[in-house]
């Protein structure tokens, strides 16, 4: 994987991690289009640079994130992340297999896009606008929704935001809770992948070029994600999900055409 590949994938990760369009799906397709070999390091890189993206949440929401007087909020995040931790532990190998399938991404893009076209009409009486009113049960249910994103092409952001709205959270609060929930979820995923890589192939993490790629990728993902989050919150409150729905449908159709014509496999 070249330095150009590293930069492009990091930009894609930063742009798409917190938008309801699936960062994993975009990186799978981007990797295929650039002809990047799906070796162990590439798979690790695509997960590990999520760390840079989640740090953008910590920085942007630092006052709220580090308000330790709100200890109940941290417990809610822990409760919400449990479903992903459990399912991830049991289905890690299956997930790795799915991460190699552009066809899975294309189908999930289109299906998710159709849902986003109508989701604003599904939830119109949202009454919870303060995270103090998110109960532990609601947090756990949102965490279950988040698990849908284990299917490549299903957006973690979209799944958890829709889960929050289903639990009566406003769009803004559902999006913010989704951002906060990303921190323990993706930190756990990144930590697990790094630990697994260290145990099975420690030389991969001692390679200077690999370490440079991870460093550059995380910095770029961090900066781009900060910009994307600010845009998304503003746009979502004013306009809802419809634009992202159309984008997913069009992107899914384009991916299917690329698969059919042999451009990606």
pLDDT at 99: 58
pLDDT at 95: 62
pLDDT at 94: 64
Phi-psi region of 126 (alpha: psi -120 to 50; beta: other; left: phi over 0): beta
pLDDT at 159: 94
Q: What is d(CA 6, CA 105) in angstroms, rounded to the nearest whole number? A: 21
Residue 223's Cα: distance from chain center in Å?
16
pLDDT at 100: 61
pLDDT at 82: 94
Q: Taking a C-beta distance cutoff of 8 angstroms, is the pair 41, 209 a contact?
A: no
Q: What is d(CA 32, CA 250) in angstroms, rounded to the nearest whole number? A: 18
Q: What is d(CA 103, CA 83) in angstroms, rounded to the nearest whole number? A: 26
Q: How many CB atoms lie within 10 A of CB 87?
A: 16
Tokens of 185: 């979820």
pLDDT in single tens digits along all 265 residues of the chain: 789 999 999 999 999 988 998 888 888 888 888 888 777 888 888 888 988 998 999 999 998 888 888 889 999 999 999 999 888 777 666 665 655 678 888 999 999 999 999 998 888 788 899 889 999 999 999 999 999 988 888 889 999 999 999 999 998 999 999 999 999 988 888 888 888 888 888 888 888 998 999 999 999 999 999 999 989 988 888 888 999 999 999 999 999 999 888 887 6
pLDDT tens across 14-50, in order?
A: 999 889 988 888 888 888 888 887 778 888 888 889 8
Where do the structural domains in the chain lie, given as residue ranges? 3-260
DSSP code of residue 133: G
- Per the prediction, the chain carries an average pLDDT of 88
DSSP code of residue 69: T
Q: How many CB atoms lie within 10 A of CB 154?
A: 24
**Main-chain dihedrals φ then ψ at residue 130, nearest 5 degrees:** -140, 130
Q: What is d(CA 231, CA 196) in angstroms, rounded to the nearest whole number? A: 35
pLDDT at 263: 80
Q: How many CB atoms lie within 10 A of CB 190?
A: 19
pLDDT at 93: 63
Q: What is d(CA 175, CA 192) in angstroms, rounded to the nearest whole number? A: 25
Q: Taking a C-beta distance cutoff of 8 angstroms, is the pair 83, 147 a contact?
A: yes
Phi-psi region of 91 (alpha: psi -120 to 50; beta: other; left: phi over 0): alpha
**This model's pTM is above 0.85:** yes
Residue 120's Cα: distance from chain center in Å?
21
pLDDT at 55: 92
pLDDT at 98: 58
Q: Taking a C-beta distance cutoff of 8 angstroms, is the pair 140, 82 a contact?
A: yes
Alpha helices by DSSP H, listed for the chain, are 3-16, 23-33, 40-48, 50-60, 62-65, 71-98, 102-122, 136-146, 156-166, 171-200, 202-206, 208-239, 242-260
């Amino acid at each position: 994987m070249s330095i150009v590949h590293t930069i492009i994938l990091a930009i894609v990760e930063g742009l798409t991690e917190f938008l309801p369009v699936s960062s994993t799906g975009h990186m799978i397709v981007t990797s295929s289009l650039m002809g990047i070999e799906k070796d162990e390091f590439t798979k690790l890189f695509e997960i590990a640079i999520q760390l840079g993206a989640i740090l953008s949440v910590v920085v942007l929401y630092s006052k709220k994130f580090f308000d330790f007087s709100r200890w109940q909020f941290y417990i809610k995040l822990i409760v919400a992340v449990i479903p992903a931790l459990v399912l991830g532990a049991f289905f890690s190998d299956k997930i790795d297999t799915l991460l190699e399938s552009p066809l899975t991404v294309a189908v999930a893009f289109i299906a998710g896009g159709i849902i986003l076209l109508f989701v604003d009409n599904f939830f119109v009486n949202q009454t919870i606008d303060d995270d103090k009113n998110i109960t532990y049960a609601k947090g756990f249910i949102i965490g279950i929704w988040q698990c849908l994103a284990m299917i490549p092409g299903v957006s973690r952001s979209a799944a958890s935001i829709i889960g929050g709205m289903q639990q009566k959270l406003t769009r803004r609060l559902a999006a913010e809770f989704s951002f906060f929930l990303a921190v323990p979820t993706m930190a756990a995923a990144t930590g697990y992948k790094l630990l697994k890589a260290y145990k099975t192939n420690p030389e991969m993490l001692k390679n200077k070029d690999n370490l440079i790629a991870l460093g550059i990728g995380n910095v770029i993902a961090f900066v781009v994600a900060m910009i994307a989050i600010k845009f998304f919150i503003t746009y979502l409150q004013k306009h809802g999900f419809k634009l992202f729905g159309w984008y997913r449908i069009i992107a899914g159709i384009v991916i299917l055409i690329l698969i059919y014509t042999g451009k990606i496999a």
